[in-house]
Structure 1
């Protein structure tokens, strides 16, 4: 195991090993989430302690049912913890955080709006005038390769193009926190790889805080500053890994020795926990 890895869920923002320094953005302290009745409780998350830096890219990887999406919903305050405390940019209220956007696995575009109007939709939600934001919306569509499709409707676009539009929409109001719940899960392998490269480029440009939920070990290592490895239910943080690969991490990053080391390390964790089945090295 590398020196940058830890089994402890509690971690400070920033890393001496990588030279990156972040001030705390999102903190979870002793967070547990239980569903069901008192007689038949299901513990989705158990005693999670985590600090995500302001401007950090953190990926969470783990098996189905390990509480990854539950963690995202708790941070967004679409759900509240059973016990514990969550702070988002110094705010401990139960209201959705100001400056937050969410991208889900399904694009959730409005069928009757053009792609440009879909990207502008957040302005309607907060009562802002769309006119001053049109140029920005077009810049975002250009960034995700959709400028030529601004006047098209969702049914005219491929799945990958729709998801690019969803990401552009999420960035319209310059979110400080971007929560992404398996946003590439429904895409084919080639589109998924291109989306990964595009997302990293957007993050390098805007430097928002990103929490990225994924089932893909490769995707987590290629995108993140740190990877949170979750155990099977009840969801606990099994390990936190620093990823120190140089950015940007283009298509050649898969040949980086650290990529090979970290993906193998995570695979070994899941083999040892019975999440994956095969012959461990």
Structure 2
């Protein structure tokens, strides 16, 4: 089996294990639990790993507390994170102490303080704060290539060489724009369009409608990888759940494009993998 296949196998198994423990948490005697807190535009996800960094529990909730990568409802964000934390704690029968979080690349000076405060106000000790595509690569384990995180509000680009991030960027195009296109095409409210877009049974019908937006994302990717020797793209983020999105991006960029199993969970798992017991002051 090729190194590339082994890499994707690791990530896909990690996601599969996480999906399993969301439904059936693993209650054990781990000495430490590490939590990844992913504050997304569409969803807030908490991924919990044991002392050996294996998934043991998780929870997520649809939310509108973040817009274009920025926290717009601080109180709401704290409330949801705290409720998800308590929900998992009750299932595991223990307190979750340590957490890591992530922000869109290039926004450190704009919103890192808000996200840090949300996590801490929800009752966690924050141990790491990194950009989203870099966090995703903790699960992807890409050595050379680009990690593209298409979230609800933005598309994050992270280029890696020899396992190190050498370039990051963030562009304001994401799932919100997909929903706006569906809303206009079908004469639906934004909320109805957003729900329609999330239904996998509608994806085959929606792909031609959304193709121009996916091609715009592809152009964004092309603009940022230009000048770098990128031979592989890995897609993460909830918006990448759209079936067939990887084929359009590969055709427009001319770069091999991989989409892991349920890309919505790759970043929160990567965040959890970056969690330690070294508290950020």
TM-score normalized with structure 1 length: 0.27
Normalised by the length of structure 2, the TM-score is: 0.27
Relative contact order, CA 8 A, sep 6+: which one is greater?
1
* Structure with a larger share of its residues in helix: 2
